[in-house]
Amino acid sequence: MKLKKRDVNDCRVKGRKVRDHEPLWGFGKTFPLRQDPGRAMKRISVVRLVRGSLVAGVYVALTLIFAPVSFGPVQVRVSEALTLLPWLWIEAVPGLFVGCLIANFMGGFGIIDVIFGSAATLAAALLTARMPTRRLAAIPPVVINALVVGGYLSVLLELPVIPTMFYVGLGQIVACFGLGIPLLAVIERRFPR
């Protein structure tokens, strides 16, 4: 299929006008249609860089403000509501990773938390960016953090694995489904695609 010259916001696929952010293949976003491979580095604008940096800063600030409930085997990390932002903005992925890295470095459980907690947030953010709907976008952060964070917290604190994973997952459900999905709805209304 050969695409003719198109503008940034829309293109024609099989004769049908399609917006560049609309899923075409039933899964994830249409990253290949957004830009030519040679233009990938040119697309990093100041707005995207600032947006990613703001996500990192807000993540750190929320984690430290709510520090008593942000660390430990029973936690509701309010900043995890931001892990749904990659569904809207791909530049939120590095912002979340850096924010989690800094927050985990400043709080709690040492280098294990910094490495594995930040890696879990990065993996969850990458998967969230590929989800087709807002509700499904909340699942990767819940599942990955419950397994990874619950797993290493049970080892570090010498607690039973299953209850620790359950409580971390429950906190993630509160943050992602209870706070993150409403946050996405508000942001989508404020910043339409």
Buried b (16+ CB within 10 A) or exposed e, 94-104: bbbbbbbbbbb
CB atoms within 10 A of CB 149: 26
Beta bridge partners of 65: none
Region 4-11 average pLDDT: 46
Question: d(Cα 104, Cα 38) in Å, to the nearest integer?
Answer: 36
- Give per-residue pLDDT as tens, 91-115: 999 999 999 999 999 987 889 999 9
Burial class (CB in 10 A: 0-12, 13-18, 19+), 112: middle
- What is the band of 22 on the pLDDT scale with cuts at 50, 70, 90? very low
The domains of the chain, with CATH numbers, are 10-40 (no CATH), 44-190 (1.10.1760)
Question: d(Cα 128, Cα 113) in Å, to the nearest integer?
Answer: 21
Q: What is the pLDDT of residue 109?
A: 87
The DSSP secondary-structure symbol of 40 reads: T
6 versus 176: the higher-pLDDT residue is 176
pTM, two decimal places: 0.77
